[in-house]
Chains A and B, each alone.
Chain A
Amino acid sequence: MSAVFDQFTGTSRYIASDELKHAVNVAVALARPLLVRGEPGTGKTLLAENLAEALGLPLIRWHVKSTTKARDGLYVYDTVARLHDSRFGGDGHDVRDIAKYIKLGPLGEALAAPSRVVLLIDEIDKADIEFPNDLLHELDAMKFRIDETGKEVAATERPIVIITSNNEKELPDAFLRRCVFHYIQFPTRELMSEIVRVHHPDITDKVLDNALEVFFGLRSTPRLRKKPSTSELVDWICALKKANVDLSRVSGGIPFLGTLLKTEQDIELMGKRAKA
């Protein structure tokens, strides 16, 4: 296989399915952003962290919020600080130098970085519907201009861009066209036991089996509002271990149900089922 390919094979703490590895490597080889979707708690964000670790590259994170604007990712011109300095002065503040008041955002930093970096754009669907469209050019060309100073920032090496989305909003077609797409499916029982083992290496087969039995049983319960996810399973097993609970001996209800189910309705529903 060529050198550009097969770079990512997961790390000691992160188990990726073959399909996911393949998608990551395609994105790296084609230098296109990788859009990762999937249920909450399937390790979308962790993927970027572990990819950076596996490739030995620095990671820059951009956590998108409902108020985030595309421009914030490139740079922010701190007008208020400049205004403040011009009004009240201060030692060593040259108000005439606009560049001093320009702060690069995460995307700007990634493009200005001297070497290749991994950029995580987390939960892109949290922002406005038009947000991804505003990034099209920058992600395509991997460069932008700071209007205030006329300076152009261009990437020396195209960063590896990982974008995550929770399916809250439809993303625009023009944006999707430029991405490599992967949908993280919920892990199978085999993959899940591998994942749990990575987090709890000392767990015994029997405990793991019992825990997975309860967990997948819970997930297959109809009418749950929010199904428990991988990260919740890992937390739950952690709680079981700390409290030294032997699952095979527990009867009548699941211990620490609150770590697995997060809505009142779900807990109530399980309560009714346990009684029935």
Chain B
Amino acid sequence: MLVDFLFELRAKKVPVSTHEWMALMEAMALGLHESSLDGFYHLCRTLCVKDIARYDAYDEAFLAYFKDVHVDALRLTQDIADWLQNPRALEGLTDEQRAAMQAMDFEKLRELFEQRLKEQKERHDGGNRWIGTGGTSPFGTGGKHPSGIRVGGGGQRSAMAVADKRLFKEYRRDVVLDVRQIDVALRGLRRLGRDGAVEELDLDETVDQTCKNAGEIEVVMRPPRRNRVKVILLMDVGGSMDPHAELVSRLFTAASRAGRFAKFRSYYFHNCVYNSVYEDANFSKAVPVADLLATSDRDEKLVVVGDALMHPGELLDPGGSLYLSSTYGSGRASGIEWLRRLAHHFRSSAWLNPEPERFWSGTTIEPIASVFPMFPLTLDGMAASVRYLVRGGEKPRIGEPAKWMKVS
């Protein structure tokens, strides 16, 4: 039956492998789960979930799978037995209630309870017969029966209660991003190579050369390994990007740290890239896109950050930009055309979008995503984009871009 739990976990995107599942089975055969649900909760998490970011998803899966499992029937019967040993004083009851109480002695109540415990298969709320909550049955919790048995509630922190609290929500990876997390994600973006000043001892080569030199020591030096990745960051600022300004500035902080990339340049644009990008966020120092392309190698990595949301006309009509209304000329092109030129020039490029993925379809994000591989600006999205930039691979498909092209 537990195999279903494995698939429940995988469905919740907790990457549990067969290897780990076998380890869990081995551990359970050794009795490491202490034959309790609590023990199992911790054992399974320890062995199968290796990332705090997935703890919340694990809690969700655990809740979904075990919600109908009655917590340790054994312990419950023990609770009830204890309870029955120490009946609470009956004062404060009306005559009517007392009569009702006497109608059912403890022995009978207990018998009934055990019978119900055996028969009951599901959760009950608000009834008058089964063990449940908020009802008038004698059994359950939060109910109104004057002499009922309260089942569960309070006491130890059970696994279900722990899972229910969802303590690890803030560690989820599809939401938060601070500078440090971005930093970590960007570390993957590298290609090491040796160039620059020779300042490291090449031991192997030294030994080789010395041997060839009949034992006369011949020292060979080499340059240390450095990251050779060059990055151009294009950032959309103002307008609809204002709510995301903080996030983008964190990305910028992490990316621009000294020594991270062999070469790092950043430019700004508003809404969509047209014939120029800007060196500053006030749009005072324009750099024509043609110049940018001329001065950059094809193997530099282009990362665009923007929400890619605009009026379709601004993207698809030649001269759609407000800023271009005065600069008529032969080279007028639509926003999407400029984006294509950029994407075409660089061998690898990616677009990071701070808009939540669920709002992407049916907007200008669709046609732009057909030009630039689009990733959400979350930890997972950044990791995916870094992988894409380094190794290439399948471009993520979003919506139906063809539909948009017809409109234009």
Which A residues have a C-beta under 8 Å from some C-beta of B? 1-2, 4-5, 19, 22-23, 25-26, 29-30, 32, 35, 37, 79-80, 83, 86-87, 129, 167-171, 173, 176-183, 185
Contacts and interface: CB of A to CB of B under 8 A. Distances in A.
Contacts of A179: 50
Interface stretch (B15-23, B118-126, B127-135, B250-258): B15-23
B26 A170 contact: no
B184 A180 contact: no
Contacts of A83: 207, 210, 217
Contact of B32 (A19, A29, A79, A167): A29
A181 B23 CA distance: 13
B23 A32 contact: yes
A37 B54 CA distance: 14
Contacts of B160: none
Nearest to A180: B46
Contact of B52 (A23, A25, A183): A183
A29 B30 contact: yes
B50 A29 contact: no
Interface in B41-60: 42-43, 46-47, 49-52, 55
Contacts of B27: 26, 29-30
A129 B46 contact: no
Given A22-B46, A176-B50, A181-B50, A30 B23 contact: yes
Interface string B291-320: 000000000000000000000000000000
Interface residues of B, number: 31
Contact of B30 (A5, A171, A183, A185): A5
Contacts of B50: 35, 171, 176-177, 179, 181
Contact of B46 (A2, A26, A177): A26
B203 A177 contact: no
B368 interface: no
A30 B15 contact: no
B260 to A, nearest CB: 14
A109 to B, nearest CB: 23
Given A5-B30, A87-B217, A178-B19, 8 more contacts: A1-B31, A22-B39, A25-B32, A26-B47, A30-B32, A30-B47, A80-B203, A170-B188
B187 interface: yes
A2 B17 CA distance: 28
Chain A binding surface SS class: mixed
B239 interface: no
A30 B215 CA distance: 51
B163 interface: no
Contacts of B187: 129, 169
B383 interface: yes
Nearest to A125: B184
A2 B55 contact: no
Contact of B20 (A29, A87, A177, A185): A177
Given A23-B42, A37-B52, A30 B26 contact: yes
23 contacts: A2-B30, A5-B30, A5-B31, A5-B32, A22-B43, A26-B43, A29-B27, A29-B30, A32-B23, A35-B50, A79-B203, A83-B207, A87-B215, A167-B184, A170-B188, A170-B383, A171-B50, A173-B15, A176-B51, A177-B20, A180-B46, A181-B47, A181-B49
A79 B15 contact: no
A177 B18 CA distance: 9
Closest 6 pairs (CB-CB, A-B): A176-B50, A181-B50, A183-B52, A23-B46, A177-B19, A22-B42
A34 to B, nearest CB: 9
A4 B184 CA distance: 38
Chain B binding surface SS class: helix
B17 A177 contact: yes
B6 to A, nearest CB: 14
A253 to B, nearest CB: 28
A146 B55 CA distance: 40
Given A37-B52, A83-B207, A83-B217, A19 B42 contact: yes
Contacts of B15: 173
A29 B33 CA distance: 12
Contacts of B55: 183
B269 to A, nearest CB: 30
A180 B24 CA distance: 10
B184 A170 contact: yes
A153 B43 CA distance: 32
Contacts of A177: 17, 19-20, 50
A228 B313 CA distance: 52
A129 B203 CA distance: 23
Contacts of B31: 1-2, 5
Contacts of A170: 184, 188, 383
B179 to A, nearest CB: 10
Contacts of B210: 83
Contacts of B34: 1
A179 B17 CA distance: 12
Contacts of B46: 22-23, 26, 180-182
Contacts of A182: 46
B14 to A, nearest CB: 12
Contact of A86 (B23, B188, B203, B215): B215
A177 B23 CA distance: 10
Nearest to B187: A169
A168 B207 CA distance: 36
Nearest to A182: B46
A90 to B, nearest CB: 15
A179 B23 CA distance: 10
A20 to B, nearest CB: 10
Contacts of B17: 177
Contacts of B23: 30, 32
Contacts of B26: 30
